Amino acid sequence: MKKVKITETIFRDAHQSLIATRMKTEEMLAIAEKLDKVGYHSLEVWGGATFDACLRFLNEDPWERLRKLRKTIKNTKLQMLLRGQNLLGYKNYPDDVVEEFVTKAIENGIDIIRIFDALNDVRNLKTAIKATKKANGHAQATISYTTSPVHNVDYYVELAKKLEESGADSICIKDMSGILLPYVAEELVTKLKRTVDVPIQLHSHFTSGIANLTYMKAIEAGVDIIDTALSPFGNATSQPATEPLVAALINTKYETGLDLNLLTEIADYFRPLRDKYMKKGILNPKVLGVNAKTLIYQVPGGMLSNLVSQLEQQGSLDKFEKVLEEIPKVRKDLGYPPLVTPMSQMVGTQAVFNVILGERYKMVPSEIKNYVKGLYGKPTVPISEEIVKKIIGDEEIYKGRPADLLEPQLDKLRNEIKEYIEQEEDVLSYALFPQVALKYFQYRQAEKYKIDNTLLNREEKTHPI
């Protein structure tokens, strides 16, 4: 029997994709115990945008969220998404920060760390992989899937070999745009299973409407684990819905063994939660349909909403289609980077500038300049001299590992916020999001002061001087 294992994403990617990562810890804890009884391979609960959203929008400590989930979920492995040397931010961090972050994530309850790099530059993954294994975590190295004249099955098989050599305990095919076609998936999984000796997991989004078909062909080809999201937060720009896939595999050699009745019961909890966020305007009904243009432009769902927001701010929403057409051109100019954080945001912003200003590369964000300089990693194919000249002139291109240019930072950061530190993890929150974390620390202090004052007043009333 070749049972298929399932990673449930409803506590991370599902609500990141549909409601801008706004699900609160208390909403998770109310159903966490039941989710723990399902028998999932793992629950994805942390990483990605959840860390930033906790601090920025919810006034929650992401570390405390993780600890509470770990305390409640006793039987199922907890998983997170990590952007390699970018951690959970949008730039490279020094090795000491990466190592400490990974160590603390595992100490606080994470079992599996899915580690990816936006350029598939293995050099940007090695520090996080090594730190994960040193802390006795499971290092899942990632193929950021895209298509181009150079991104093909053979390219990904060679990449998988390098990931396994780097110490990966498993490999994930991360199809962030939902563009992996069914028969390509079948060929890719078949060749990966013949080439590497670690489990293969498949992660896709339903944005283009083909992920269910892709999952079935991958399952038949021998994929070990798939990512799904319970139906209230499944499909659309999220992962394929859990319950239909579990049902589709019943009485087959791939049967998951998960209880469909229990899954339906848990889904009933999330349905009113989804409706609540829709009424608040956080869940936009426009993201709930299928967007087949994704197959042409390769734009992930989150990137689409960012583009709409940027164009609305410029009063240029009528140029949306032109921007979509410009994105593949910019991507080609920049050496075909996969459109995943942070490259998706960078390519999208450059496309917006090119269209709105009516001249290509008239204005170039500093992030694009740094990318062309080699400070994010190595492009899949070299960028043409003409584009290099247009973007950075005669400046030198760095060929080494970008993080080698960075000095250790932890001691300096710890000293900068010493008056706010309540736990060692605060230093890491500050390292990733300095302004946002500082604002949260100040909020936390103010809330604590209110509580102390309340207790003091109560004691004064009880014991008058």
Q: Are both 275 and 324 inside the same structural domain?
A: no
Confidence tier at 458 by pLDDT (50, 70, 90): low
Determine the pLDDT at residue 184.
Answer: 98
Is there a contact between 83 and 102 (Cβ–Cβ < 8 Å)?
Answer: no
The type of residue at 286 is: K
39-78 in b/e burial notation, b at 16+ Cβ within 10 A? ebbbbbbbbbbbbbbbbbebebbbbebbebbbeebeebeb
Which tokens belong to 375?
């400070």
57 pLDDT more than 70: yes
Determine the pLDDT at residue 460.
Answer: 52
Q: In whole angstroms, how far apart are CA 138 and each of 17, 70, 246, 367? A: 25, 16, 25, 32
pLDDT digits 0-9 by tens, 76-99: 999 999 999 999 998 999 999 999
Segments forming the whole domain that contains residue 51? 5-285
Residue 167 lies in a domain: yes
pLDDT digits 0-9 by tens, 345-389: 899 999 999 999 999 999 999 999 999 999 999 999 999 999 999
Is there a contact between 238 and 177 (Cβ–Cβ < 8 Å)?
Answer: no
Residue 232 lies in a domain: yes
Q: Are both 82 and 35 inside the same structural domain?
A: yes
Strands (E), 298-432: none
Angle made by CA atoms 376, 365, 143, in degrees to the nearest 5:
35
For the ranges 189-203, 277-291, 430-444, which has the lowest average pLDDT? Answer: 277-291
333 pLDDT more than 90: yes
Q: Are both 191 and 339 inside the same structural domain?
A: no
Residue 325 lies in a domain: yes
Q: Are both 181 and 209 inside the same structural domain?
A: yes
Q: Are both 303 and 277 inside the same structural domain?
A: no
Q: Are both 248 and 317 inside the same structural domain?
A: no
Residue 11 lies in a domain: yes
Strands (E), 180-233: 200-204, 225-228
Q: Percent of the chain at pLDDT above 90?
A: 85
Over range 392-398, report the average pLDDT: 95
Residue 258 φ/ψ region, left for φ over 0, alpha for ψ in the -120 to 50 degree band, beta for the rest: beta
Tell me the CB-side half-sphere exposure of residue 158, using CA atoms within 13 A: 8
Over range 453-464, report the average pLDDT: 57
Nearest to 404 by CA among 84, 129, 87, 95: 95
